[in-house]
């Protein structure tokens, strides 16, 4: 085999993760183009696309810049591309995405205008509206503006990442040109509502109109709104943990301050400008030509949520999704203690269709139960107002031992977690911060009790954060069990975390970085041994690990049927002849963010199932502490298989990967295409509305399905 053929073979069924992610974000944007999605929800999807892209530049592009400067010869093991080649590819793809966003945004805005909702420009204001806008500028904005002219007496300014600025090219009385700028105030409302009917103006447009007044003797020639995006990929590596630091929390706080000064990786301008003005903007921000984007949509698309909040209820009711309230599962009694019901049989919650309240009630019961000795939990992201934290504090105040493994390095939630860690400590909880160089991303809670001379355990493990806000927005799974072996594994897990042991032995739980990947490889081998009778179905958010990808390709070559449900990045390309022709990749982007992770090996009653906090990414499998928990309860197994089957049948929100890594919508023109998330909402509502008084309790979201199977 020639060298060239070998290289071609190596990457014949893989693709670059950054380009795969950009394809995912395009699928998010396409939801904004779907006429079946309510208008204001379509506007939200444009905003979500923009926020996703912001974070992509802050983290992924920023990281590639770092790698390019430190290790320029490094190659991506899925594409063979160097950091510079990856950056070049990204910068080639982005303009097309930005233009697609502009067209979709404009189309949505035109439809909204028919409903009376309009983001108006200053020149479109009525005389009364103009008077209102000018008063707002004079009384609310002007007193806090800090305009600056860049000249020899003023140092080069610092621009805040994703802050909005108005830049001006100005002349003095001698016709000498200078650059001037002023930041749009962040703490003010970003949208000024002009009428109850839905007319509004963004405050940067008010400032843009009045900005010439700020520069006195200078004459403005040209102006625009601009924003910069900075690298936000701050490292918390232990080798950078200074010897003089004794408090890891203080160290993280110091490292976060560094984020504000990292390199600028993108400059966005809201309109076409002259070449001279553009060059001055580039000079002022220190970017290259390929890092400059003209984006004629609002540069801060987060205004959308503020604007929607100011609309009358009637319009919101008409143009948003019908509100859905997560429900108390019909198979759980409100009158029987949660601890008692879990001891009867394992319980599963499927968010956001099920409410998180049963878990919160479990924590509060544990806080008050005289037999409970301790509550131990891992925390990655928390809601800004957390009932879960209140329950933990209550337990500590009641004399229980409460141990919280708090991950301070959860990206963009670091400050929130620092605040919560202080509150938990003040309540008497013992807070630990995980292991050096290994983020703790696992989701596990262990309640230990002692009664009649015997220890008992209730263990909860799941796929999502202990965050009531995201529990109502993300699809996630949570299993609560009194299984003694799992409880003993939970005890060993927390003991190992407290002592820094990453190589602990567990009977039931799979724990990364040592345990999940080898187990997955072994289970894939088990299906390979079955040949054409083998079956693998995995629902995850991302697939990037090269070893897992190669093992799945090996399984495909052996005839194993492989169904992957992957929301985002997927570096294995499906349908490649003689390589991955037995692999199918489905991506679902809908009302809720798909976040649950299910591993299924085999079919029917003999299938082995796990739910997990880990995606099939090298960082999750090798550089994080993650947990995958086994599913033993037959009802829950059937429920999980049902979830997988419904999602694989989705034709409304599902896209199917093509051999080149692109995606096409699965919808085959049915009058009513199945929407898996809507199906789950409908089933939950049906269960709640028609639930009999519980006799024998059947578990989970699909209680009636489990009941049906148990009778058959």
For every residue of 610-661, DSSP letters joined together read EEES--B-HHHHHSEEEEEEE---HHHHHHHHHHHHHHHT--SSEEEE-TTS
- What is the Rg, in whole angstroms, of the alpha carbon atoms belonging to the chain? 27
Helix, strand, coil percentages (3-state) for the chain, rounded to 5, are 40, 20, 35
- Nearest residue to 387 via CA among 471, 323, 327: 471
| 171 catalytic per annotation | no
Strand partners, 563: 537, 584
**Contact present, 562 and 589 (Cβ < 8 Å):** no
User: How would you classify the pairing of strands 535-540 and 510-512?
Assistant: unpaired
> Angle 546-557/516-528 helices, nearest 10 degrees?
10
Q: Which of 154, 171, 187, 441 is catalytic?
A: 441
Cα–Cα distance, 411 to 421 (Å, whole number): 16
Which residues in 139-156 are b (16+ Cβ under 10 Å) and which e? eebeeebeeebbeeeeee
Cα–Cα distance, 301 to 44 (Å, whole number): 9
Cα–Cα distance, 108 to 100 (Å, whole number): 12
Sign of the Cα torsion 633, 635, 639, 642 reads: positive
Judged by DSSP in three states, 220 sits in strand
Cα–Cα distance, 663 to 671 (Å, whole number): 22
Strand partners, 600: 537, 609
User: How would you classify the pairing of strands 372-379 and 444-451?
Assistant: antiparallel
Cα–Cα distance, 489 to 240 (Å, whole number): 33
Q: How buried is residue 703: exposed, middle or buried, by Cβ count under 10 Å (0-12/13-18/19+)?
A: buried
Cα–Cα distance, 288 to 96 (Å, whole number): 19
H helix runs in 220-259, sequence order: 248-259
Residue 660 has phi, psi (to 5 degrees) of: -85, 0
Which residues are catalytic, by number? 441
């Amino acid at each position: 085999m020639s060298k060239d053929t070998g290289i071609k073979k190596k990457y014949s069924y893989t693709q670059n993760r950054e380009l795969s992610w950009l394809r995912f974000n395009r699928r998010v944007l396409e939801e904004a183009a779907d006429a079946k999605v309510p208008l204001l929800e379509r506007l939200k999807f444009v905003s979500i696309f923009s926020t996703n892209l912001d974070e992509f530049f802050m983290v992924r592009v920023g990281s590639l810049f770092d790698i390019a400067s430190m290790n320029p010869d490094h190659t991506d093991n899925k594409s063979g591309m160097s950091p510079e080649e990856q950056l070049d590819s990204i910068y080639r793809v982005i303009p097309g995405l930005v233009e697609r966003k502009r067209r979709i945004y404009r189309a949505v805005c035109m439809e909204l205008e028919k409903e009376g909702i309009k983001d108006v420009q200053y020149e479109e204001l009525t005389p009364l509206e103009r008077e209102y806008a000018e008063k707002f500028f004079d009384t609310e904005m002007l007193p806090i503006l800090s305009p600056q002219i860049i000249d020899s007496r003023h140092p080069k300014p610092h621009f805040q990442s994703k802050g909005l600025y108005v830049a001006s090219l100005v002349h003095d009385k001698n016709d000498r040109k200078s650059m001037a700028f002023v930041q749009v105030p962040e703490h003010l409302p970003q949208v000024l509502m002009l009428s109850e009917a839905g007319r509004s103006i963004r405050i940067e447009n008010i400032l843009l109109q009045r900005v010439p007044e700020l520069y006195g003797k200078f004459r403005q020639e040209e102006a625009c709104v601009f924003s910069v995006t900075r690298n936000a990929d701050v490292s918390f590596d232990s080798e950078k943990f200074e010897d003089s630091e004794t408090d890891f929390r203080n160290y993280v706080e110091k490292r976060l301050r560094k984020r504000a000064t990292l390199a600028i990786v993108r400059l966005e301008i809201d309109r076409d400008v002259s070449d001279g003005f553009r060059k001055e903007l580039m000079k002022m921000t220190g970017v290259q030509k390929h890092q400059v984007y003209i984006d004629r949509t609002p540069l801060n698309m987060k205004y959308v949520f503020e604007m929607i909040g100011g609309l009358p209820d009637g319009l919101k009711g008409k143009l948003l999704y019908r509100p859905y309230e997560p429900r108390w599962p019909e198979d759980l009694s409100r009158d029987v203690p949660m601890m008692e019901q879990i001891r009867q049989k394992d319980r599963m919650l499927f968010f956001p269709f099920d409410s998180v309240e049963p878990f919160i009630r479990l924590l509060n019961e544990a806080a008050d139960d005289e037999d409970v000795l301790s509550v131990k939990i891992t925390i990655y992201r928390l809601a800004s107002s957390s009932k879960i934290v209140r329950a933990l504090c209550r337990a500590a105040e009641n004399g229980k031992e409460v141990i919280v493994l708090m991950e301070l390095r959860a990206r963009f939630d670091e400050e929130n977690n620092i605040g919560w860690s202080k509150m938990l400590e003040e309540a008497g909880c013992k807070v630990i911060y995980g292991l050096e160089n290994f983020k703790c991303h696992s989701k596990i809670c262990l309640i230990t009790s002692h009664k009649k001379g015997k220890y008992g355990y209730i263990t909860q493990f799941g796929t999502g954060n202990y965050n009531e806000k995201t529990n109502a927005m993300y699809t996630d799974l949570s299993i609560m069990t009194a299984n003694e072996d799992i409880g003993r594994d939970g005890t060993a897990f927390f003991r190992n975390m407290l002592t820094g042991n990453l190589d602990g032995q567990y009977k039931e739980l799979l724990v990364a970085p040592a345990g999940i990947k080898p187990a997955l490889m072994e289970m894939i081998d088990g299906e390979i041994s079955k040949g054409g009778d083998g079956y693998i179905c995995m629902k995850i958010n991302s697939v990037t690990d090269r070893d897992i990808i190669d093992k799945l390709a090996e399984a495909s070559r052996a005839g194993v049927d492989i169904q992957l449900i992957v929301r985002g990045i997927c570096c294995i390309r499906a349908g490649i002849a003689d390589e991955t022709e037995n692999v199918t990749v489905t991506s679902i982007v809908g009302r809720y963010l798909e976040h649950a992770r299910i591993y299924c090996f085999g079919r029917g009653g003999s299938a082995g199932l796990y739910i997990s906090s880990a995606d099939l990414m090298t960082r999750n499998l090798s550089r994080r502490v993650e947990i995958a928990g086994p599913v033993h309860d037959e009802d829950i197994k059937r429920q999980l298989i049902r979830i997988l089957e419904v999602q694989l049948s989705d034709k409304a929100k599902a896209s199917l990967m093509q051999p080149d890594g692109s995606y096409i919508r699965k919808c085959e023109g049915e009058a009513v295409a199945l929407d898996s998330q809507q199906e789950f909402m409908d089933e939950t509502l049906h269960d709640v509305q028609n639930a009999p008084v519980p006799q024998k309790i059947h578990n989970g979201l699909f209680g009636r399905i489990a009941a049906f199977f148990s009778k058959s």
